[in-house]
Amino acid sequence: MSNETKTNPMKEIFVEKVVVNIGVGEGGPELEKAIKIIKLLTNKPAVKTMCKVKLPTWGIRPGIPIGCKTTLRGQDALDFIELTLKAKRNIIKKKSFSKDGNFSYGIHEYLDVPGIKYDPDLGIKGFDVCVSLKRKGFRVKQRKNDVSKLGKTHKISKEDAIKFAEEKLKVVIE
């Protein structure tokens, strides 16, 4: 931890939210299976995600449900990150981090997550985990009244996010 973080509590980084996403590409029974998998993994209800573009070759158009997701916050988010990182052997690639300090990783099969048993009715599907980081004071860009920009020094850089992942989440960066 840097000296600046020790002296300035506003510079402390923490997990804002974790979004768990499964993209199926079609509605119907496959989407229902994906919703059950998210419920199994997170114990939270999933919402359907709708297509926003028209791709005739894939047979999709705007308004058709093609996936599902759920959002975790607080201790649930931290516990889920810890659990899914075990499936990744606590290794994340450097290219998984965005310039804004968020990071994502995918799990190829939900069976890789410790403690999850195979259900033949659900089949084998993978999912994505997207982690958003923030600092205290980020609310200034989201509040209803007197919205303002976030200062350059207060933004989370890619390097800050990598350092957070290594120190707090015990992740190895490749």
The candidate with the shortest Cα–Cα distance to 132, out of 169, 173, 103, 170, is 103
pLDDT < 50 positions in the chain: none
Q: 133: how many CB neighbours lie within 10 A of its CB?
A: 22
- Helix, strand and coil in the chain, % to nearest 5: 35, 25, 40
Amino acid 4: pLDDT? 60
Q: How many Å apart are CA 36 and CA 119, to the nearest integer?
A: 10
Q: What angle do CA 62, 33, 72 make, to 5 degrees?
A: 80
pLDDT number for residue 128 = 96
**Domains, the chain, with CATH or none:** 3-173 (3.30.1440.10)
